[in-house]
Copies of this chain bind each other. A is one copy, B any other.
Amino acid sequence: MLIVHKYGGTSVGSLERISSVASRVAKAKNSGNDIVVVVSAMSGETNKLIEFAKHFSDNPSKREMDMLLSSGERVTSALLAIALKEVGIDAIAMTGRQAGIKTNSFHTYARIESIDPKAMQKEIDSGKVVIVAGFQGINENGAVTTLGRGGSDLSAVAIAGALKADACEIYSDVDGIYTTDPRIEPKAKKMDYISYEEMLELASLGAKVLQNRSVELAKKLKVKIVAKSSFSDAEGTVIGEENKNMEAVLVSGIALDRNQARVSLRDVSDRPGIAGEIFTKLADEQINVDMIIQNASSNGLTSLGFTVAESELARTKEIIDNFDHDIGGKSFDSDICKVSIVGIGMKSHSGVAATAFSALAEENINIEMISTSEIKVSMIIAQKYAELAVRTLHSVYKLDA
């Protein structure tokens, strides 16, 4: 089997940790697999380099930031190759360029355009463990680019896709994806398997493990991800394609997003296009609107509610104030949160949402907004009920069973 391993910053955060990773990789190689390893910079290193740059400029050149930041992953990859050779495993460190990773030219948030796996494949075929500096590639002019947040995960998934690897194991300090946040519900269980679609909807549960961009890419390239801990030998969670067994499971997990604020607009002129104008203006300012509800119009007036990230509420308020002549009344509330139940099984089962509504009602939790998709039901509730709601839903769907 050909397995891609990816180790994040905390997994390679010290020389001792790199030794530990070398042992893990050596064991995987010695059990007969071909191994490609993608590494992040040692934790703290990237932040240190950013601080260095900020010493000189509040807005440093992005092209130069990429040359600066890409150095951290190179250091880790070289050190891991040296550590592996010392334990008798032949290994070769490769930069993004040497691994054949071509990106577009959007420095600091480039997208991978293609991977030519020939150079990696040649080293794999000669029996070597290939260690690739994550987070980086080169553009058509040969300039170094970086992939932005979660970039090493993207490198790993893209490389696994290009090499048609059997799996892409993403190592972090968390041993998998849980049915909900264990800090809120200690009975939360680690999932054995979850579909790409569910993982995308449960983003907040996977936030410390891998980002949505990587899951989307894995889905597109049909790369099987295994989220594991580099600090234990626990099994981890497989993230892969939907399968038949999954439909038997109504709900896979409960996600909580506290970083939400609600905007309520009453008595909005029901002239055509007013909602469009408001949301266009928000989009122009890069403010991401999550849930939107609009009530049926009466008397030529309508009411409009939506949520934005709590951190963007102030900017949102400024924009809304410009529409005062079209809006009768408005309120802003950041004391709310979003609780979501996610599960592939919902597709073919009715009544899943009703169960949630009843369960929350029994606890006297008022649902302020609802939005549903094929595999998710999200509810806005008062912030103070966040933990109670998560535990109630976790229990009613028997996720602790």
Residue numbers of A with Cβ under 8 A of B are 15, 18-19, 22, 49, 52-53, 55-57, 60-61, 63-65, 67-68, 70-72, 74-75, 77-79, 81-83, 85-86, 92-93, 95, 97-98, 142-144
Contacts and interface: CB of A to CB of B under 8 A. Distances in A.
A86 B57 contact: yes
A93 B78 CA distance: 22
B143 A98 contact: yes
Nearest to A53: B82
B15 A52 contact: yes
Specify how many copies of this chain sit in the oligomer.
2
A67 B95 contact: yes
Nearest to A42: B52
Binding site secondary structure of chain A: helix
A61 B98 CA distance: 17
7 contacts: A22-B56, A56-B83, A57-B85, A61-B82, A64-B79, A68-B74, A71-B74
Given A19-B56, A52-B15, A77 B67 contact: yes
B52 A65 contact: no
A68 B68 CA distance: 14
A342 to B, nearest CB: 42
A67 B82 CA distance: 11
A106 B71 CA distance: 22
Contacts of A77: 67
A64 B121 CA distance: 19
